[in-house]
Amino acid sequence: MIQQEISIFIFLVILLAAIYWVAHLPYKWTVALFKAIPTLLFCYFLPSAFVSIGVIDISQSDLNGTLSKTLLPFCIFYFSLGLPLKQLKKIGKISLLIFFAGSIGVVIGGPISLWISHWFFPESFNAESYKGMATIAGSWIGGTANQMALNSIFNPSADELAKAVTVDVFFGETWLAILLFLIPFQAKINRFFKAKDASYMVEMDWEEHSTHKSFTFINLLYILGLGFGMTQIAQILSGILVGYGEGQAIFQFLNKSFWIFLMSTLFGITLGMSPLRKLYAQGGDVISTLFLYFIIASIGLKISISHLFSTPILLFTGFIWIAIHGLAIFVVGKWLKAPYHYMAIASQANVGGIASTSIVATAFSPRLTPMGIILALLGYAVGTYGGYLSALLMKWISVTY
C-alpha cells in the first residue's frame, strides 16, 4: 500500500503518463474509448479507483492541499502572463463583447439554474450545493485552472465535487460538439442574424502559442524560478491582507486562497507587459498545464466513483445553465449582428480551454486560431473572479432554502 505523500505523487505521475500513452495508441478500441470518455475523466477518476481498491492510502497525507498551495498559483500566474494585452485590440470589440456576454451568462446562469432545480427537486440540494457548482462556473468562464482555484477557495465535499466534474466534462464536450455541428449551417445562421461582414476573418501575426517547445536548462530554471518566486510573494501578501481584513465585514468572503489567486493573476498580467512574458511562450504554458494535471489527479484521490450515481439531477441543472450561456451568446450576437464564427469561438473560449477553442477556430479558418487562443487566455484571467461572483450569488440562493 502506498502511503507517503511523495510516493503517492510519483504514482500519480506514472499513472498520468500511462493514461496518455494508452490514449495515443493507434488501435480502434483506444480511439473509440477515449472518444466516448474524455481523457480528463480518467485523470480524475482512476486515482479514485486505486484508493478504493486499497493500493493508495490517503488517510495520512494531503497531497491535494500541498499541490494546490504550491503549484496552482504557479499555473494561474503563467496563464495570466500569457495574456497578450496588445493583441486584444486587434480581435475587435465585437468578439470581446460576445465573450463577456457569455461570461455573464455563466455568472447568472448558475444561481438561476440552481433555483429552478431546487424548485423541482428540493431533496437533492442543500445549503452546501453551491460549492461544487462554483467549480463549474470557474471552468465555464475560464478553464480547469480556474476550476481548481475555486475548489481550493470553497472546498466542496467529495460528493459535490464528483458531480460537478462529471457535469462540467459532459456539457463541455456536448457544447463543443454542438458548436462544430452548426458550422455547415453558418450561412443560414448569418442570414437569420443579419450578420455584417460574415466573411470577415481577423488577420493576426501571432504564432507564439506552439506545442513544440525548445527547452533548455537555463530556460527551465528561469521559468520555475519566476513562477515559484511570484507564488511565494503572493503567499506572503495574502497572509498580510487576511490579517488586515480580520473582523471586517467586507472581507468575510475573501479567504487566503482568494487573495493568493488574485495576486497571482495580477502579477501575471502586469509582468505580461514586460520582456518576461517570453517565458510563457518558451515553455511556461506547457509546464503549467503539466502541473495542472498533477493537481487534477490529486483531487481524484478524494473522489469516490459511487458519488456519481446522484449526478442525473445535476445534469438537469447543467442543461439549464449551459442553455442560459448559449442564450446570452446568441442574443448579444443578434444585437451586434455578428457572424456565427465570432459567437462560436467566444462561447468555446468560455466553456472550453485553449485546445478546444483552437479546434473551433481552426474549423472555420486557421487564420482565426490566434483569436481563439487570446480569448481563451482572457478566460483564464477572469474565470476565477467571475466564478467567485457566481458562487456568491448561488450561496445567496442557497440560504433561502
Lowest pLDDT segment from 181-195, 237-251, 383-397:
237-251
Task: Give the per-residue pLDDT at 222.
Answer: 95
Q: Per-residue pLDDT averaged across 200-217, rounded?
A: 60
Q: Taking the CB of residue 131, how many other CB atoms lie within 10 A of it?
A: 22
The pTM score is: 0.79
- Separation between Cα atoms, residue 14 and residue 28, nearest integer Å: 24
Mean pLDDT, rounded, of the chain: 86
pLDDT of residue 69: 85
Q: How confident is the model at residue 306 (pLDDT cuts 50, 70, 90)?
A: low
Determine whether 248 is exposed, middle or buried from the number of CB atoms within 10 Å of its CB (0-12, 13-18, 19+).
exposed
- Residue 246, pLDDT above cutoff 70: no
**In this predicted structure, what is the pLDDT of residue 121?**
85
- Between 255 and 336, the higher pLDDT residue: 336
The pLDDT of residue 207 is above 70? no
**DSSP3 helix / strand / coil % (the chain, rounded to 5):** 80, 0, 20
pLDDT value of position 281: 86
Q: How confident is the model at residue 307 (pLDDT cuts 50, 70, 90)?
A: low
Does residue 6 register a pLDDT over 70? yes
